[in-house]
Amino acid sequence: DPIANYRQVREELRLYDPSLVERPEVLAVSKCELPEASECAAQLGKELGREVLQVSSAIGTGLPVLVRAVVAALQ
pLDDT by residue (tens digit) across 11-27?
Answer: 999 999 999 999 999 99
DSSP assignment letter at 15: H
Residue type, 9: V
- Residue 69's Cα: distance from chain center in Å? 11
Helix (H) or strand (E) run with residue 74 in it: helix 63-74
For residue 67, what pLDDT band results from cuts at 50, 70 and 90?
very high
Whole-model pTM?
0.83
